[in-house]
Structures are given as C-alpha cells and as structure tokens.
Amino acid sequence: MNIDRTMNDNELKKMEQESAKLLNLLREVRDEDNTTITPRQCKPYAQKVRRTISPYWLVAASVLGFVLGIAMPRHSSTLSDESPYTLLADTSYTTGRSLAAGDVNFSLLVVK
C-alpha cells in the first residue's frame, strides 16, 4: 500500500472518531511519560548555559594581553633575546639593586 498517497480530511477525521478511545489512552500514556523526566533533573544544564563565557570577553582579554605585551619594558623579554651582559646591566639598572645577596648567583651564572 502506498501510504504517501494524498488523503482528504474526511477519511482521517472518520478514522479519528472511530479511534477516540485509543486516542484517549494515548494521551494518558503521554501524560504518564511526561512525568518521567522532571525539569529539575535538567536544571543544572540551564545553569551551565549561564556560565558560558561570552566571546566578546575572550576577544577583549586577548586585546588587553596584546597591548600589555607591547607596552612592557624591553628588559622583560626572554633570555635568548639578550646577550648575557646586556641582561645583567638592564636588571641591575632597572631594579636599582646592586649585584648582592640573591642576585649574585644569577649574575655569576649569566656572566659565565
């Protein structure tokens, strides 16, 4: 049988009237099924949705990071960018500290 043939309203309505008891039972089953899953069980997800970080914040944080990176003084660049002697001079100059105490080991390490 070709179930996809076009059908007029009357045929279906007649069938529905004949199946009234069945459709009532179907609604009972539906109502019973609908209580199986309670919204409370699903609630945590709704809260999880709230915690989603907006992409705007991510972009703003990236831009801020970039700007700070550009604005940082040169002496804070990585060791490989500097000769050991420049680094030593820069460090003692900007911190205003002499090569004493804790700096000594570091300085010696760099000079070596």
Q: How far is the CB of 64 from another protein (least distance, A)?
A: 23
Q: How many CB atoms lie within 10 A of CB 8?
A: 7
Do 76 and 69 touch, CB atoms closer than 8 A? Answer: no
Identify which of residues 7 and 111 has a Cβ nearer to another protein in the complex: 7
Q: How far is the CB of 109 from another protein (least distance, A)?
A: 53
Q: How far is the CB of 90 from another protein (least distance, A)?
A: 48
Buried b (16+ CB within 10 A) or exposed e, 71-98: eeeeeeeeeeebeeeebbebbeeeeeee
The residue count of the chain comes to: 112
Identify which of residues 40 and 112 has a Cβ nearer to another protein in the complex: 40
**C-alpha radius of gyration, the chain, whole number:** 37
Q: How far is the CB of 74 from another protein (least distance, A)?
A: 43
Identify which of residues 24 and 83 has a Cβ nearer to another protein in the complex: 24
Residues making contact with another protein (CB under 8 A)? 1, 3-9, 11-12, 15-16, 18-19, 22-23, 25-30, 32-39, 41-43, 45-46, 49-50
